[in-house]
Amino acid sequence: MGVYVLGIAGASGAPYARRVLEQMLVGGHEVKLVISDAGRKVIDVEEGLVLTGNTETDTPSILEWSQSTSSVGSLQMYHHKDVAAPIASGSFPIDGMAVVPCSGGTLGRIAHGVSNGLLERAADVCLKERRRLVLVPREMPLSLIHLRNMTAVTEAGAIVLPASPGFYHGPTQIDDLIDMVAGRILSILGINSSLMKPWTGPEESSHSGRELL
Ligand SMILES: Cc1cc2nc3c(=O)[nH]c(=O)nc-3n(C[C@H](O)[C@H](O)[C@H](O)COP(=O)(O)O)c2cc1C
């Protein structure tokens, strides 16, 4: 089983993070979780989950939130100012990292190597160690600064996966849209999940008679 870092920054899209975390843990993986202050704020606004920043007391809340209490994987939370955490060093082996969602601010700091917190530092480590790093920005519209920062992180080896679910798989509820984005993040990290079925052509779609492409 793998060891993955999951960063949650302060962009809209906390449900994506919830689903990715749940699937990592259900899949038996070790998850190292870092949440920025703004990430905690967004989780409160979008999911009604209040986290204090005390990782010991927040861990059971996070497990309950992600519905992972019966998981076989393990969760370790770190405070975003804990720059002495193992994941701040390239000598600590991990299999990959995702920032879900990734705010414009965190994207900019990663793009410019401004590692003033653990989340950015762990991402910086992934880039320098040539490990897989998936960034999931959520913003609209995009400024030239956002676009340039996305180019910079891509040139440095990261994968930018915008939180923009497609509609060709016939979603009928919000969870279907969440799963499509979460499923792509997991698959790029090399984690198996049943969240997203691969596209096999319009004839396999549930929308018989409807033009999809
Ligand atoms: C409810 C809420 C939603 C937000 N949505 C976004 C967003 O979708 N994208 C974004 O880049 N910033 C968004 N922000 C602003 C960021 O949280 C803010 O820029 C923050 O400083 C980012 O900090 P961080 O990068 O340390 O997480 C949102 C803030 C709040 C409170």
What CATH number corresponds to the domain at position 121? 3.40.50.1950
Number of domains forming the structure of the chain: 1
Collapsed DSSP state (helix, strand, coil) of residue 4:
strand
* Residue at 209 is within a domain: no
125 neighbors 89 (Cβ within 8 angstroms):
yes
Range of the domain at 70: 3-204
* Residue at 59 is within a domain: yes
Ligand 1 binding pocket includes 41 (Cβ within 6 Å): yes
* Residue at 211 is within a domain: no
Which residues are within 8 A (CB) of 71 and not within 5 positions of it... i.e. 6 or more apart? 22, 25, 26, 28, 63
Residue 200 Cα to ligand 1 middle (Å): 36
- Write down the pLDDT at residue 208: 45
* Residue at 77 is within a domain: yes
Q: Output the six-digit token pair for 44.
A: 């409160």
Q: Where are the beta strands (DSSP E) in the chain?
A: 3-8, 30-35, 74-79, 96-102, 133-137, 159-160
91 burial (CB, 10 Å; 0-12 / 13-18 / 19+) is exposed
* Residue at 212 is within a domain: no
pLDDT 10s per residue in the chain (213 long)? Answer: 999 999 999 999 999 999 999 999 999 999 999 999 999 999 999 999 999 999 999 999 999 999 876 666 799 999 999 999 999 999 999 999 999 999 999 999 999 999 999 999 999 999 999 999 999 999 999 999 999 999 999 999 999 999 999 999 899 999 999 999 999 999 999 999 889 888 888 875 555 444 444
Residue 51 Cα to ligand 1 middle (Å): 16
Q: Which atom of ligand 1 is nearest to the CA of 42?
A: 1
- What count of other Cβ atoms lies within 10 Å of the Cβ of residue 78? 21
Q: Output the six-digit token pair for 141.
A: 């519209």
* Residue at 123 is within a domain: yes
* Residue at 67 is within a domain: yes
Ligand 1 binding pocket includes 38 (Cβ within 6 Å): yes
80 neighbors 117 (Cβ within 8 angstroms):
yes
Q: Output the six-digit token pair for 87.
A: 């994941």
* Residue at 37 is within a domain: yes
Ligand 1 binding pocket includes 12 (Cβ within 6 Å): yes
Model confidence pTM above 0.75:
yes
Cα–Cα distance, 114 to 120 (Å, whole number): 7
